[in-house]
Amino acid sequence: MDWHSLLLFIHVTAFATWFGTVFASLFLLKTLEPKLTGTYDDLGDYPMLLQTYIKLETKVADAGFKTTIVSGLLLALFFHGWTIAVAIKSALIILQVALTMGYIIKAIHPLQYPCSRSDYKKWYNLFTISLLMFALVLGVTFFLV
- Residues 45-60: tens digit of each pLDDT: 999 999 999 999 999 9
Backbone angles phi and psi of 111, in degrees to 5? -65, 135
Confidence bin at 136 (pLDDT 50/70/90): very high
- Residues 8-51: tens digit of each pLDDT: 999 999 999 999 999 999 999 999 999 999 877 878 899 999 99
pLDDT over 70 percentage in the chain: 99
**pTM, whole model, 2 decimals?**
0.89
